[in-house]
Chain A
Amino acid sequence: MKIREAVLKEDIKAISKFLSTYNLVYEDDIDMTLYMEEAGRIIATVSSAEHIIKCVAVDETYQGQHLLNTLMSKLIKQLNEKGHDHLFVYTQPEHIGIFRSLGFKEIVQTMNLTFMELHGDIEQTLKRLKRKYDLDNRAKGAVVINANPFTKGHLHLIEEASKLHEQIIVFVVSEDRSFFPFEDRFEIIKNSFRHRPDIHVLPSKDYLVSFATFPKYFLKQEQSIKKEHALIDVLTFKQHYMRIFNINARYVGEEPYSPMTDVYNQTMKEYLGSALKIVERKTIDTVPISASTVRKLLKKNGLDTVRKYVPEATYDYLISDKGQRVIRRLKRHESRH
């Protein structure tokens, strides 16, 4: 049976229709779709959005013929070509068996979803990271930040945390879907703490995934989708990061404005309990500092207005060639996280 790639609008339309018979919705962010047909009828399909596998379905009468093994083999190779070699899927717990037989391994499970990975291993990855950064087994506090860009708000959060812990780990979100590239965000933070041997700056690796690529088609209400995403993220952090790095407290900034982050913080509170520490947001001239405020100011008014909101390392970066390029890009684009 021949595998085809869906490129035409008609193909996508037919696949959406096929998926709908299995109560699945073809998601907007899908960038590759493969399918098989017989006698002009679609019988199996898989899709992906970057490195996330989505919308997997096989016609009932063709199940048990391993069509998915054929489709997945092809998809894996095509994704490798695009540079995605560590793949993920969110699936309903009753379908774990199928994905296991394709080589996927479980990362975490909630009542509704199981988060799985292919061609990677969270346990090995985090243990390797721990060795690479030469971290010992003492109890630690942790902060997870995207830092797009790093502000005095982040600095304040980390400094507050470090007052209560001998050792702090700052996980910088590795996922590259922000204005400031990961490498630069990471470098700035590392520079800011170069005189602080108690503050370790680490990449988060691929496991802390943003809401952007999270599949929305399993759940009906938007609120429950956000909650589910937060839950997967928090459980991954708790069951793997906290255990492997011996983290006993996670620090977050208070979120009075962003309801999105607020759902996230509430979920954290529920599942981390007393290990979650909420730190009051730092204000300058009564303005709470956030990365999005800094981006807005950069976009509208330029460099001078943000100087008081960002640490020196960020300012040095912003006036560098690299920083100037990001600012130009920021000014050209519509607002985005």
Chain B
Amino acid sequence: MKTVSVGTLESSDCLVTIKPHESLEIEIDTVVHDAFYEHISDLVRKTLKEHGITKAYVIVQDKGALDYAIKARLTTAIKRMRDDNG
């Protein structure tokens, strides 16, 4: 299994990294932690669930991205991981 990173660390974007892992672990590092940590965390969990991801180490490094940007980055990462790993 290969690790994939999607997105960038540039302002208003986010870098989503998914690593193979024996359980589901989520790490969210965001510049808007106080106001939106819970919100982003829910969004990430919901998106992972939609794609049936139960085992992965997911790292979201958020630089102030909007909801749909985070969701798009995460979805792409999931798809790319599945493509790469057949």
Measured CB to CB, the residues of A under 8 A from B are 66, 69-70, 72-73, 76-77, 80, 83, 85, 102-103, 119, 121, 124
Measured CB to CB, the residues of B under 8 A from A are 2-5, 7-11, 15, 17, 19, 25, 27, 29, 59, 61, 63
Structural contact, A80 and B10, CB atoms closer than 8 A: no
A73-B8 contact, Cβ under 8 Å, with A80-B2, A80-B3, A119-B59: yes
A119-B19 contact, Cβ under 8 Å, with A80-B3, A83-B2: yes
Complex CA–CA separation, A77 to B29 (angstroms): 18
Task: List residues of chain A with CB within 8 A of the CB of B11.
Answer: 66, 69
Complex CA–CA separation, A66 to B11 (angstroms): 8
- Most B CB atoms within 10 A — which of A76, A103, A121, A124? A103
Task: List residues of chain B with CB within 8 A of the CB of A70.
Answer: 8-10
Question: Which residue from B4, B29, B61 sits with its C-beta under 8 Å from A80?
Answer: B4
Question: Which residue from B5, B25, B63 sits with its C-beta under 8 Å from A76?
Answer: B5
Question: Which residue from A69, A119, A124 sits with its C-beta under 8 Å from B9?
Answer: A69
Task: List residues of chain B with CB within 8 A of the CB of A66.
Answer: 9-11
Task: List residues of chain A with CB within 8 A of the CB of B59.
Answer: 103, 119
Task: List 14 interface pairs A-B (beta carbons < 8 Å), by A numbering.
Answer: A66-B9, A69-B8, A69-B9, A69-B11, A69-B63, A70-B8, A73-B10, A76-B5, A80-B2, A80-B17, A85-B3, A103-B29, A103-B61, A119-B19
Structural contact, B7 and A85, CB atoms closer than 8 A: no
Structural contact, B5 and A103, CB atoms closer than 8 A: no
Structural contact, B19 and A73, CB atoms closer than 8 A: no
Structural contact, A72 and B19, CB atoms closer than 8 A: no
B82: shortest Cβ distance to chain A, in Å?
A: 15
Complex CA–CA separation, A85 to B20 (angstroms): 10
Structural contact, A119 and B17, CB atoms closer than 8 A: yes
Give the residue name and chain of the A residue nearest to B17 (CB).
A119
A10: shortest Cβ distance to chain B, in Å?
A: 28
Question: Which residue from B2, B7, B29 sits with its C-beta under 8 Å from A73?
Answer: B7
Complex CA–CA separation, A66 to B63 (angstroms): 11
Complex CA–CA separation, A124 to B3 (angstroms): 18
Task: List residues of chain A with CB within 8 A of the CB of B61.
Answer: 102-103
Structural contact, A102 and B2, CB atoms closer than 8 A: no
